[in-house]
Amino acid sequence: MSTSRRFEPGRPYRLRSSVALRPEPFGALAYDFTTRKLSFLKTQLLVDVVRELENQPDAHSALSAANVPEHERARYLDALAGLESAGTIEARGEA
Amino acid sequence: MTKLTEHFQHGLDAPICLTWELTYACNLSCVHCLSSSGRRDPRELSTEECKAVIDEMQRLQVFYVNIGGGEPTIRPDFWELVEYAVRHQVGVKFSTNGVRITPERARWLAGTDYVDVQLSLDGATAEVNDHVRGPGSFETTMRAMENLRDAGFRDFKISVVMTRHNVGQLDDFKRIANTYGAQLRITRLRPSGRGADTWDELHPTADQQLRLYEWLLDNGDNVLTGDSFFHLNALGSTPLPGLNLCGAGRVVCLIDPIGDVYACPFAIHDEFLAGNVRDEGGFTSVWRTSELFARLRTPQTGGACTSCSAYDSCQGGCMAAKFFTGLPLDGPDPECVKGNGERALALVGAEKPKPDKDHSHRGRKRVPVAISWGPPAPDQLPDRACDTSPLAGFRP
């Protein structure tokens, strides 16, 4: 649950356990049942990346698994960093 | 990339912000009640029907529902329905005048996840509050707030409908909220329900609208608004936080106590009735296939407002406010900050539409009654202030 550490794309992440995704034409709504905050994943590709996080050893691999084009990777890493600081995704694995 | 608000204009697969009024019964008779509540409607959804609606919300991933009334807590199955909802991943925020928030109930609420409480208060003093909500209502609500605070319930909401008499109390409301560890929410007075009869004397003056806008710019980060003041955006270059878009039928709707689905909580009128949850296909079918909602999701024209420099920021204002003051839906908001609403209102004749649903207590004005349940006597609760905010608490 630590949000003090900055997002590091070489580490494993996952959708926060209290967050649910609802598919929508533009991507998905993300609702956190604990904080009651709603946020938006604004592209389907970002939804794919977020869903891949828990299956992959690190964020970079999640981008690859979701087939994020090379020239878009920096943007999607920024988006993940934003989701991490908002608490939508969280680090997993290590204590 | 298409902007999110453009997606919202075309509607979502399910509402983001769903208001559900569980009963028209209320112990109060607030003079601005959006749903003209008072007497229970005998066609009210049964407990089992309510649970079926909750099941549907779970399937649709409607993550939370704003429950109101009437006074929802006087339904004998109210707490059972709250428990059922949160067990089915549907969070609940319910609006109440506090009449059933006893110390015991406050402790139960403090120990229940996914439940939030919103207390309606329309004056920072008994004098101002009770003028609108009825004698004794201020004391009832303050006692409920004490009970919640003493039970350790943090960040419950205090919801205020802004009127001519309480705009000057904004700082006092903030102080009250801070005192009780609560969060302040302020919403716009609408000419809906019994509000149609009182709007003229209660709605804020032009000067007060400006004060309100400035106060929101100074304090808005810590105050919820139900996104209801976007018509004020034309007052300055700084947009207020929020979606700033009419969400009716697009991201917002209302289910009333008998299962009727309306485009928004301020539009209880046949003109905005999309269907009923008892119809074949249930709520899902109403949301996705009703002709009314399909129409609301097509691009709206600004009519006479299109040429106004402020149109982009105010979007023509509130559909329900226009409708119930007799203005065309593509015309100016009655509280247009450029003064176009007042000019248009002066031209409205006798053909102004009247609210066509009335559950008011008969032969009684603003007098709270003793609380009891059971047909035929209806019971309590208040107007929930607005619950329409497509973006309350959201970060785009």
Chain A residues in contact with chain B using a Cβ-Cβ cutoff of 8 Å: 20, 22-26, 29, 31, 33, 36-40, 42-43, 86
Instruction: Tell me, yes or no, if B20 comes closer than 8 A to chain A by beta carbon.
Output: no
Establish whether this prediction's ipTM goes over 0.95.
Answer: no
Judged by a CB distance cut-off of 8 A, whether residue B87 touches chain A is no
Is residue B390 over pLDDT 60? Answer: no
Q: Are B18 and B283 in contact (CB under 8 A)?
A: no
CB contact under 8 A, B4 and A31: no
- Alpha-carbon distance values, B374 to B41, B83, B173, B341 (Å): 11, 22, 35, 44
Residue B251 in contact with residue B12, Cβ under 8 Å? Answer: yes
Segment B18-52, tens digit of pLDDT: 999 999 999 999 999 999 999 999 999 999 999 99
Q: How far apart are CA B227 and CA B241, in angstroms?
A: 8
**Chain B residue nearest residue A86, CA to CA:** B395
Interface test with A, best of B17, B63, B185 (most A CBs within 10 A): B63
Q: Are B149 and B181 in contact (CB under 8 A)?
A: yes
Q: List the single residue in B with minimal CA-CA distance to A31.
A: B63
Write the pLDDT tens digit of every residue in B193-223.
999 999 999 999 999 999 999 999 999 778 9
List of residues 6+ apart from B247 with CB closer than 8 A = B8, B16, B17, B227, B264, B388, B390
Q: What is the per-residue pLDDT for B372?
A: 38
Q: Mean pLDDT for chain B? A: 89
pLDDT higher than threshold 60 for residue A31:
yes
Residue for token digits 């003056």?
B205
The answer to whether residue B88 neighbours chain A at the CB level (below 8 Å) is no
**In the structure, what pLDDT confidence band is assigned to residue B367 with cuts at 50, 70 and 90?**
very low
Q: Say what angle helices B282-289 and B47-60 make with each other, to 10 degrees.
A: 50
**Whole-number pLDDT of residue B11:** 85
Query: Of A24, A31, A86, which is closest to B13 when you measure between CB atoms?
Result: A24
Instruction: Tell me the sheet residues that pair with B69.
Output: B23
Q: In what order do the strands lie in the sheet with B252-255?
A: B183-188, B157-162, B115-120, B91-96, B64-69, B17-23, B252-255, B260-262, B273-276
Instruction: State the alpha helices, DSSP H only, in B168-264.
Output: 170-179, 195-202, 206-219
Provide, rounded to the nearest whole percent, the portion of chain B with pLDDT above 90. Answer: 72
Structure tokens at B338: 């450029």
pLDDT on residue B17? 85
User: Taking CB atoms and an 8 Å limit, are A40 and B91 in contact across chains?
Assistant: no
Residue A5: pLDDT band (50, 70, 90) is low
Contact B7 A26 (CB under 8 A): yes
